[in-house]
């Protein structure tokens, strides 16, 4: 790997990205040229396939690290996503230390984990097999998504699992699990997020979060959150189109 998102996280500087949900290599090239530090490729809620995602990675090339959010904490999805050459994996809906440990296991080659060995784009279709195998365990970024009240209850044990590179908070699903869907500014949601940050800090784990606007995420950046995802490709495009129409009337 020519760059490592894990190393960038350790530098402690904010990394600003956005969510990619459209299977468009051209749009990916535009986002890369816009200056984002990373791209959040969403396979959990989009209609994209692994093949669509590989085309996105090929468009991004070595310009911007890309991270795939797999649909579920599942060995096959994690294996396929890593084998197409992604910089890291976001595993959604982690709720316990056991689930966290299993996700890490599936992301790491033996003897650290149980990731199976194959020939694919990540290994240069075989041309760079040994180089990739030797570096993958340290350079593949493992990001666990904390987005349910059960995860908040278990956060002290989750942060103790070795091999985690970052905890990423999903405030919208978290609010839904607490009976306050969409009320991400509610004091109870804020307290839950603060608890995750405190526990992560105690374990020297970087934290990240999603927000719809720069104004929303600014307080989190000021509080020390590093991996920041702002907005979604569809919303960015849609909002820009609406502004053009409104300004032309």
The residues that are catalytic are: 45
Question: Tokens 């749009």 sit at which residue?
Answer: 27
Burial classification of residue 125, based on how many CB atoms lie within 10 Å of its CB (0-12 exposed, 13-18 middle, 19 or more buried): exposed
Alpha helices (H) along 154-232: 155-158, 171-177, 187-202, 214-222
DSSP string covering 17-76: EEEE-S--HHHHHHHHHHT-SEEEEESSSS---HHHHHHHHHHHTTTS-EEEE-SSS-HH
Q: How far is CA 55 from CA 41, 66, 172, in A?
A: 12, 12, 29
- For the chain, how far is it from start to end, CA to CA, in angstroms? 49
Nearest to 95 by CA among 161, 12, 8, 11: 161
Residue 69 β-bridge partners: 42, 90
SS3 137: helix
Burial classification of residue 51, based on how many CB atoms lie within 10 Å of its CB (0-12 exposed, 13-18 middle, 19 or more buried): exposed
């Amino acid at each position: 790997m020519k760059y490592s998102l894990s190393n960038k996280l350790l530098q402690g500087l904010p990394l600003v990205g956005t969510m990619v949900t459209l299977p468009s290599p051209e749009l990916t090239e535009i986002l890369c040229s816009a200056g984002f530090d990373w791209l959040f490729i969403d396979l959990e809620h989009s209609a994209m396939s692994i093949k669509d995602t590989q085309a996105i990675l090929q468009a991004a090339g070595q310009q911007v690290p890309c991270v795939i959010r797999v649909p579920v904490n599942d060995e096959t999805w994690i294996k396929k996503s890593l084998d197409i050459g992604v910089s890291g994996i976001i595993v959604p809906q982690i709720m316990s230390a056991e689930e966290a440990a299993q996700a890490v296991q599936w992301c790491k080659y033996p003897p650290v984990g149980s990731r199976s060995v194959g020939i694919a784009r990540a290994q240069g279709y075989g041309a760079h097999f040994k180089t990739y195998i030797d570096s993958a365990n340290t350079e593949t970024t493992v990001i666990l998504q904390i987005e349910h009240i059960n995860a908040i209850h278990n956060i002290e044990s989750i942060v103790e699992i070795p091999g985690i590179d970052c905890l990423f908070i999903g405030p919208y699903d978290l609010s839904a699990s607490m009976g306050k869907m969409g009320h991400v500014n509610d004091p109870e949601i804020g307290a839950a997020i603060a608890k995750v940050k405190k526990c992560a800090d105690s374990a020297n784990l970087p934290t990240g979060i999603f927000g719809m606007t720069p104004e929303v995420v600014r307080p989190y950046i000021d509080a020390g959150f590093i991996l920041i995802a702002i907005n979604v490709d569809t919303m960015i495009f849609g909002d820009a189109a609406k502004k053009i129409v409104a300004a032309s009337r």
